[in-house]
Structure 1
Amino acid sequence: MMSGWIIALIVIALIVVIGVWIIGIYNSLVGMRNRVGNGWSQIDVLLKQRADLIPNLVETVKGYAGHESAVFTQVTQARAGALAAASDPNATLEQRAVAEQQLSNAMVNLRATAEAYPDLKANQNFMNLQDQLRQIEDKIAYARQFYNDVVLKYNNRIMQVPTNIIAGMFHFVPAQYFAADEQSRQVPQVNFTNPAVPQVRF
């Protein structure tokens, strides 16, 4: 009789231990998933800040280099693509990353164009906008690194034994990294055959 109670207590104790273990892992995974979401939110805010700043920068450059229509068209289209991807609820992080990388590439060409105009580089408004943009891009780089580090930890966690069992039970899925493909990282070449009129090859 006594042994039956002992066995029952052991079974109950095991159930409690397993239950606490499952709850602990579940809460840990939820916390990590929330960190991933928070990391992405910070990137998203910064990307929108950059998009809001670009039109002012483009207009300032136009004031000195209005004939560089190809460069302005490229930046405008790239910005529109980035905003479209940002507003599309079905867009993947990879698609967002590609769109944002294309915008970054376009901004390289805009900066290269500005280099050909000394008066523009000395313009206080242009320098202020450039400084703001540089600060935002530095923050984006840091936030993206932080986000990808958090994603790596989270993905490793849900794939490791025995955590993967709990992750599978509660439908935790791997998070996407915020990284563009190699083709979108290729920056267009700028060839200054004439210092006053930069030629851009896409």
Structure 2
Amino acid sequence: MDVSWALLGILIALAVYAISIYNKLVKGRQMADEGWSGIDVQLKRRSNLIPNLVETVKGYASHEQETLEKVTEMRARAAGAATGGAAERAQAEGDLSKALISLMAVAENYPDLKANETFLNLQEELSSIEDDIQMARRYYNGTVRSQNILVESFPSNIVANMFQFVKRSYFELNNEADRATPEVKF
């Protein structure tokens, strides 16, 4: 009789522990989903800002058509990657960031444009959005890290496998050139 009570107690303790792990996995998944949503919101804000920025630059730099077209193309590509995974989205957004850097470099050649209040406001807003995107990426990657630790660690990996929790991909730069330190010349 005492043995059966002990076994029952052990089974109840294991069930409570498994439920606790399951709830941690669900919480981790929800936090990662929230983090991805935060990235998505910031990228949408940036995407919505780009047409205004391009139109403002167009008025001053009409012969810089290639750069303007490249920004528009990369924006469309990034929008198309919105339904893809983290790696595909990161690549498309990295390409868009490079195109925006080119656009800002073009703006440097036009003193009137650099002094234009609309352009300055758009440039400031874009800079703010880029900061927000960076913070959203860090939050997402932190939640993914926590989720992946639970999915891979023993004994939580047993519960994760039972309920088909899988590792998530980080939102990271795939292009080594994006990680390089920029060269500053005077």
TM range (shorter): over 0.9
Which amino acid in 2 is paired with 1:139?
D
Q: Per-residue displacement from partner, 1:33-76 (whole Å, max 9, x unpaired)? A: 11100001001001001000000000000100010011011101
Structure 1 residue 180 displacement after superposition: 2.8
State how far apart, in whole Å, the 2-side matches of 1:152 and 1:27 are.
17
C-alpha contact (below 8 Å) 1:43/1:143 kept by paired residues: yes
C-alpha contact (below 8 Å) 2:46/2:126 kept by paired residues: yes
Structure 1 residue 7 displacement after superposition: 1.3
Q: Per-residue displacement from partner, 1:146-200 (whole Å, max 9, x unpaired)? A: 111111121112111111111111111001111131257389xxxxxxxxxxxxx
Which contiguous aligned blocks of 4+ residues in structure 1 show a shift greater than 6 angstroms? none
Partner in structure 2 of residue 178 of structure 1: 171
**Greater relative contact order (Cα 8 A, min sep 6): structure 1 or 2?**
2
State how far apart, in whole Å, the 2-side matches of 1:83 and 1:76 are.
11
Partner in structure 2 of residue 80 of structure 1: 76
Select the structure that is richer in helix: 2
Quote the sequence identity (%).
46
- Within 5 Å, which residues of 2 pair with 1:62-141? 62-86=58-82, 88=83, 91-141=84-134
Number of equivalenced pairs: 181
Q: Runs of 5+ in structure 2 lacking a partner?
A: 181-186
Which amino acid in 1 is paired with 2:10?
L
Distance 1:79 1:186, change over 3 A: farther
Which amino acid in 2 is paired with 1:11?
L
Select the structure that is richer in strand: 1
Which amino acid in 2 is paired with 1:168?
N
Partner in structure 1 of residue 183 of structure 2: none
Does residue 168 of structure 1 match 2:168? no
Identify the match of residue 44 of structure 1 among 21, 40, 44: 40
State how far apart, in whole Å, the 1-side matches of 2:24 and 2:32 are.
13
3-state SS, counterpart of residue 169 of structure 2: coil
Partner in structure 1 of residue 137 of structure 2: 144
Does residue 17 of structure 1 match 2:13? yes
Q: Per-residue displacement from partner, 1:89-116 (whole Å, max 9, x unpaired)? A: xx22111110011000000000000000
State how far apart, in whole Å, the 2-side matches of 1:158 and 1:96 are.
23
Partner in structure 2 of residue 190 of structure 1: none
Distance 1:69 1:186, change over 3 A: farther
State how far apart, in whole Å, the 2-side matches of 1:151 and 1:22 are.
21
**More displaced stretch, 177-186 vs 13-22:** 177-186
